[in-house]
Amino acid sequence: AHAVLGKHDNVVRYYSAWAEDDHMLIQNEFCDGGSLHARIQEHCLGESELKILLMHVIEGLRYIHSNDLVHMDIKPENIFYTMNPTAHKNGCSALEQQQGNKDDDGMDSVYEELRSSENLVTYKIGDLGHVTSVNEPHVEEGDCRYLPKEILQEDYSNLFKADIFSLGITLFEVAGGGPLPKNGPEWHKLRSGEVPPIPTLSKDFNELIA
């Protein structure tokens, strides 16, 4: 999967792999910010940060899915980020060009707000160990806290949606909705659309997560 996915700004880049001392070593792109999981140990993400995270991970998933592949293990531990303001600003310009005269979808104001920040980041999807083809799926279940119940029931009829579900519940967690349950009534509620609103988020963004 590493080699097939090639190069995308929102997927951790693969360089090479080799065997050494009975171990397989994989050389990937270095993300100087670390993991999203480590970041949220310090503080939850605000709505502006969440919108950037959402956009970047969606772009990474769009690329993965365009190759008829699914990630199957989206979670904070597998999302990394780089502190790269220049690349991020270039991305803003590209987005503006694509939008042309379209109405503001809410992201323009977010980018405008963050342009002057020294903490601009680029989020990247990493850990491709669970990636599988949608045409001939060989599913190795990821973390049950982030998976829809259909996957755990071995229903693989819509694997693309499984990745989107995992992203949604990741957003819920990093916004302050964690820690996530591994089972029990609360686990089932989250999969039945009973997602408690995060007080610090707008009504629209809470509805987006739910």
3-state SS, 188-202, equals HHHCCCCCCCCCCCC
pLDDT digits (tens, 9 = 90+) for 139-185: 988 899 999 999 999 999 999 999 999 999 999 999 999 899 999 99
Identity of the residue numbered 169: I
pLDDT digits (tens, 9 = 90+) for 14-61: 777 788 888 877 777 888 899 999 999 989 999 999 999 999 999 999
pLDDT digits (tens, 9 = 90+) for 82-136: 986 545 444 444 444 444 444 444 555 555 555 444 358 899 999 888 999 999 8
Q: State residue 28's pLDDT score.
A: 75
3-state SS, 69-93, equals EECCCCCHHHEEEEECHHHHHHHHH
Q: State residue 163's pLDDT score.
A: 97
Q: State residue 89's pLDDT score.
A: 45
Q: State residue 88's pLDDT score.
A: 46
State how far Cα 93 lies from the chain centre: 22
CA dihedral 114, 119, 125, 129 (to 10 degrees): -170
- CATH class of residue range 2-209: mainly alpha
Q: State residue 113's pLDDT score.
A: 54
Answer whether residue 207 shows pLDDT above 70: yes
- The residues, ordered by sequence, that sit 6+ positions from 173 with a Cβ below 8 Å of its Cβ are 40, 76, 179, 180
Catalytically active residues are: 73
Query: Do 205 and 47 form a contact (C-beta atoms < 8 A)?
Result: yes
